[in-house]
Amino acid sequence: MAADTTLIILGASGDLTSRLLLPALGQLLTREPGRTVRLHGAGMEDWTDEHWREVVQKSFQTTDAEAAFAAVSETTYSKADITKPADLQKLLDDAEGRPALYFAVPPAVAEKSCLALSDVTIPAGTVLALEKPFGTDEASAHRLNQQLAKLVPEDQVFRIDHFLGRSTVLNLLGARFANRLLESVWSADDIASVEIDYPEPLGLEGRAGYYDGAGALVDMIQSHLLQVMAFVTMEPPASLTQLDLRDATSAVLRATHVRDDDPVRNSRRARYTAGDVGERHFPSYVDEPGVDPSRGTETLAEMTVEVRNTRWQGVPITLRSGKALSSGHRAVTVTFQPVRHLPGGFSGESEPTELVFSLGPDTMSLGLNVNGADDPLELERVTLAADLGEGSLKAYGEVLSGILDGDAMLAVRGDAAEQCWRIVQPVIDAWRKNEVPLDEYPAGSAGPASWSA
């Protein structure tokens, strides 16, 4: 699709656009100097083309910002209320080549806009890119999918999950499927447990309007971490095409359930109280501007799932993420079963083999037991580590590259988005009924003290 696409960013004055999308576009254009993109910004603000160009130029913080900006220097802006069919029609009519509508707007606005598109003539090939959260539960995600299906074919719908564009997440595929050594041990026969952990030092950061209604479970686990889990657990796809990869993703998500169907024993939640993360002081979550304390929103969530198939039967897979935490390890940790028999005569501890994919900085490490240097019969722990580098594109760069190339491989398919809601729903229900306590942890700690006991 590359050359003849007009990327129309809806929500041009928003945070996502200036902080993530435009810098990623700048990086993509720097890496691929031959790529040309027509860029159009649209939103509620009464901006001129000149103002928009300044916004774009400022956001292109790449090594060769000028060259990248040159590729979009003709970029234009128009004021538009994207919930109105007439405004959407004009945006599409004015676009040259194939339009790609990127909805960088609040989810409720995106949904309204998709309804308004029913009354619009949509040019063939139009791409619709929707941010998370996709719907508010399985039923609403299903309705939104049905609406989208009336507008464009599924492979032109990009449900964005920027974790799928992270280089370490993509590395999971390389490590798993290009190494015979791992291929043969990647199942419940050899793996004891999997943990996917994404602690963040950030707090609410003024996002109460969205986050207080979502919480850590929906913000991170329902979307990003379940997608990462699917990459860890999927059956090998025949190829890395969007069809094969997304079929494999959906199949494993369909087999995923809260462990033992018991959300009370297999989920935990907590929220932060006042404290310091590094140099930053955070008030208690409930005292953050815009927060409604009666909602009981969690800022740290954990759930344990299992994949009910031959490969994974019985392996606990724990997903955890939270805000205002000390600099914990963001990682996928695969812990292997102990050896079947440790020959007598060794001294020292034999710990299980551990393979860790670190989610920034991007590294992969393997913890092994080896013979000690001084006493060959005393076991010592060594870690073999590989620095995987940052990847030449940040996550949103990969996302935009897929949209501009019309390759939906790293976009979430509609059925997978619905499955992710189905998986977390029992936990949401148990939390609503207060069947799981809402613990507390001071900002800057590693979480509630009782969790590490």
Ligand X SMILES: NC(=O)C1=CN([C@@H]2O[C@H](COP(=O)(O)OP(=O)(O)OC[C@H]3O[C@@H](n4cnc5c(N)ncnc54)[C@H](OP(=O)(O)O)[C@@H]3O)[C@@H](O)[C@H]2O)C=CC1
Ligand Y SMILES: O=C1O[C@H](COP(=O)(O)O)[C@@H](O)[C@H](O)[C@H]1O
Residues labelled as active-site residues: 224
For residue 107, state whether it binds ligand X (rule: CB under 6 A).
Answer: yes
Tell me the sheet residues that pair with 277. 280
13 binds, among ligand Y, ligand X, none (CB under 5 to 8 A by kind): ligand X
Applying the rule CB under 6 A, the residues between 174 and 213 that interact with ligand Y are 200, 202
Counting Cα atoms < 13 Å in the Cβ hemisphere of 196 gives 24
Among 87, 219, 302, 306, binds ligand Y (CB under 6 A): 219
For residue 367, state whether it binds ligand X (rule: CB under 6 A).
Answer: no
CA distance 190 to 278: 39
For residue 15, state whether it binds ligand X (rule: CB under 6 A).
Answer: yes
* Closest CB 319 distance from ligand Y, rounded Å: 14
Q: Are strands 157-159 and 5-10 parallel, antiparallel or unpaired?
A: unpaired
Residues 53-82, mask of contacts with ligand X (x by CB under 6 A): ---------------------------xxx
Residues 276-295, mask of contacts with ligand X (x by CB under 6 A): --------------------
Whether 156 contacts 127, CB under 8 Å: yes
Going through 16-85 in order, the beta strands assigned E by DSSP cover: 38-43, 76-79
* Closest CB 278 distance from ligand Y, rounded Å: 16
* Closest CB 220 distance from ligand X, rounded Å: 11
15 binds, among ligand X, ligand Y, none (CB under 5 to 8 A by kind): ligand X
Whether 370 contacts 379, CB under 8 Å: yes
82 binds, among ligand Y, ligand X, none (CB under 5 to 8 A by kind): ligand X
With vertex at residue 62, the alpha carbon angle to CA 58 and CA 66, rounded to the nearest 5 degrees, is 65
* Closest CB 417 distance from ligand X, rounded Å: 14
202 binds, among ligand X, ligand Y, none (CB under 5 to 8 A by kind): ligand Y
Long-range contacts of the stretch 381-385 (C-beta < 8 A, 24+): 381/349, 381/351
For residue 449, state whether it binds ligand Y (rule: CB under 6 A).
Answer: no
Question: Kind and range of the H or E element at 90?
Answer: helix 85-94
Residues 6+ apart with CB under 8 A from 92: 99, 101, 120, 121, 122, 123, 126
Q: Rule CB under 6 A: which residues touch ligand X?
A: 10-11, 13-16, 43-45, 80-83, 104-107, 109, 131-132, 210
